[in-house]
Structure formats: structure tokens, C-alpha cells
């Protein structure tokens, strides 16, 4: 049976009738019916997504932490370790609020006080000082006979 | 706009740096022309320009904190004169502006804005459930 020589060792896929062939460097690696090829394809995507999750773990933790802080019940990952790390970030990373529009909503309530403005205090007009020789009326009984 | 607590004031309460009934809490009457509030970033009294502080109260008295609700006796700002004022700021006085924490900003109150006339201004706290504020 003649072999087809290919210039590289790249993996290539071919369809022959109802079968799918996997070749590497012109050598047949796998020959499977289309049903099996579909299963392998789905399995490859699933494994690739798991690998991508680990490759982008820091970004997922950050995004999941923001979602947790916002109280939005959506999970970006099923990986328990990543979820635990995101929960820790949500709880302790005080810089997260910078990435949230409007900051973290609080249940605080501040009352509405009332300001009551009073008129200025009236001060008594200054009394003219008594002239020399005038009887001092504000001095009480000093110098007077009180008997 | 609305009445609100400063983010870093809330953080200080949770971190144990603010103690409502043990520390000295005061009130500023603020001229908003000289102060733009930033609830997320402002934390200390030195974030408020001196020109904005139209009047400063004495220490709030009879403070209570039952069920996380802050309350105190009504406070009087004595013989207030200066620019028209649009806000109140509740703050903790440590004795140093750079370490005196901002707690709450009030820009919605009956009687605000107020144009000082040299007389006293009495701030009567709300008797609703949240009193001065509720954490």
C-alpha cells in the first residue's frame, strides 16, 4: 500500500467515506467511524476548556470575585479550588470596589436632620461712661449711708 | 445626591478604628462651593478644604449606638457667620486633621442650604429609625 509523504509532522485529519482518519507525518494514527470522531471532538473541547481554565486562572478568580461582591449568583467555574480562591478575594481584596460601577452597595441609612436657625443674639448698646462729678448710679451703695 | 457614609469611614468602623460613643465626634457645616465630596476616596478631615468649613460644632453628647444605630443629642453651632452652606459632615476629631476620620456627609436636610446670619444653628437629628445613621 503506497504511503503519502507529507512535508511536516503536523497532525492532519481526513474524511474517507463515513470514516475519519487522523494522520501524522503521513502515517495513519487513527481510523474511526464518524460517531466516534464526534465523541472524540467533544471530549477534546471539554479537555481543552479545562486546560484553558487553568491557563487563565487569575483572570477567572478576579472576575468571579467581582461577581460575588456584586451579589450576582453566577459561577464562572465549577472548580472548587478556584471558587474558594475567588471567595477569599471577594472577602478581603479592598481594591475590588474600584472595578465596580458605583462601588459596593451598602444597606446603610443616614437620617435627615433638621436645621433650625436662630436670629443673631441682640447685644445691649454700650452705656456711655459717667462724666467726672456725676453720681454713679450703678455702683450700689458704695459711699452712701444705708442706715 | 443623598446623605451617605464615607466608604473609608465604614471601613474604619469595621476595622475598629472608629468608636462612635468613645471617641470625640463633631460636625462641620460645609460650603459646597469649596468642597466636592468624594465618598469613595475622602477619609480624613484634611480632605476638606479649610475654606469649606464654615462652622464646627463641639463634641456630640449623649451618643448611643444601640443596634448599630448612631444617635446623639441635638447639637448647636454657635453664632455662625460665613458663606451659604449646603452640607454637614460628621467626623471624628483626633486632634489632628490628617488623622481625623470623616464619617458621614449630609446634603439633604430640612433647612439646608442655610445662609448664616450670625445666630446659632441647631441641628436636630432625625427621630426616625435610622436617627443620625444606621450601619
A79 Rama sector, left if φ>0, alpha if ψ -120 to 50, beta otherwise: beta
Beta bridge partners of B110: A114
Residue A118 predicted with pLDDT over 80: yes
- The verdict on a CB contact (< 8 Å) between A121 and B111 is no
Most A-contacting residue of B71, B106, B107 (CB-CB within 10 A), to test interface: B106
pLDDT tens, residue by residue, B12-67: 999 999 999 999 999 999 999 999 999 999 999 999 999 999 999 999 999 999 98
Residue A10 predicted with pLDDT over 90: no
Q: What average pLDDT does chain B have? A: 93
pTM: 0.57
Interface of B with A in 87-116 (CB under 8 A): 88, 104, 106, 108-112, 114, 116
pLDDT tens, residue by residue, A14-29: 999 999 999 988 889 9
Confidence of residue A144 (pLDDT cuts 50, 70, 90): very low
When CB atoms are compared, the residue of A109, A115, A121 closest to B111 is A115
ipTM: 0.88
pLDDT tens, residue by residue, A39-63: 999 999 999 999 999 999 999 999 8
- The verdict on a CB contact (< 8 Å) between B108 and A114 is no
Locate A115 and state its grid cell: 436645621
In angstroms, the CA B13 to CA B20 distance is 8
Amino acid at each position: 500500500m503506497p504511503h503519502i509523504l507529507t512535508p511536516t509532522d503536523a497532525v492532519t485529519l481526513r474524511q474517507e467515506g463515513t470514516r475519519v482518519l487522523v494522520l501524522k507525518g503521513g502515517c495513519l494514527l487513527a481510523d474511526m467511524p464518524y460517531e466516534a470522531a464526534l465523541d472524540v471532538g467533544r471530549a477534546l473541547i471539554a479537555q481543552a476548556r479545562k486546560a484553558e481554565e487553568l491557563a487563565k486562572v487569575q483572570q477567572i478568580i478576579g472576575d468571579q470575585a467581582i461577581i460575588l461582591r456584586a451579589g450576582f449568583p453566577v459561577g464562572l467555574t465549577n472548580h472548587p479550588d478556584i471558587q474558594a480562591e475567588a471567595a477569599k478575594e471577594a472577602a478581603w481584596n479592598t481594591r475590588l470596589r474600584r472595578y465596580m460601577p458605583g462601588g459596593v452597595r451598602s444597606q446603610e441609612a443616614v437620617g435627615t436632620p433638621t436645621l433650625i436657625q436662630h436670629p443673631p443674639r441682640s447685644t445691649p448698646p454700650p452705656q456711655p461712661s459717667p462724666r467726672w462729678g456725676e453720681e454713679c448710679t450703678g455702683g450700689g451703695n458704695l459711699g452712701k449711708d444705708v442706715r | 445626591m443623598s446623605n451617605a457614609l464615607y466608604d473609608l469611614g465604614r471601613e474604619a468602623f469595621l476595622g475598629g478604628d472608629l468608636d462612635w460613643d468613645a471617641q470625640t465626634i463633631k460636625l462641620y457645616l460645609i460650603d459646597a462651593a469649596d468642597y466636592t465630596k468624594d465618598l469613595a476616596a475622602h477619609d480624613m478631615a484634611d480632605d476638606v478644604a479649610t475654606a469649606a468649613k464654615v462652622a464646627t460644632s463641639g463634641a456630640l453628647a449623649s451618643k448611643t449606638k444601640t443596634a448599630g444605630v448612631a444617635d446623639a443629642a441635638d447639637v448647636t453651632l454657635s453664632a455662625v457667620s460665613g458663606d451659604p452652606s449646603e452640607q454637614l459632615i460628621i467626623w471624628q476629631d483626633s486632634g489632628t486633621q490628617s488623622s481625623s476620620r470623616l464619617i458621614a456627609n449630609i446634603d439633604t436636610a430640612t433647612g439646608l442650604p442655610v445662609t448664616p446670619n450670625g445666630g446659632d444653628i441647631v441641628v436636630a437629628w432625625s427621630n426616625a429609625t435610622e436617627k443620625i445613621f444606621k450601619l
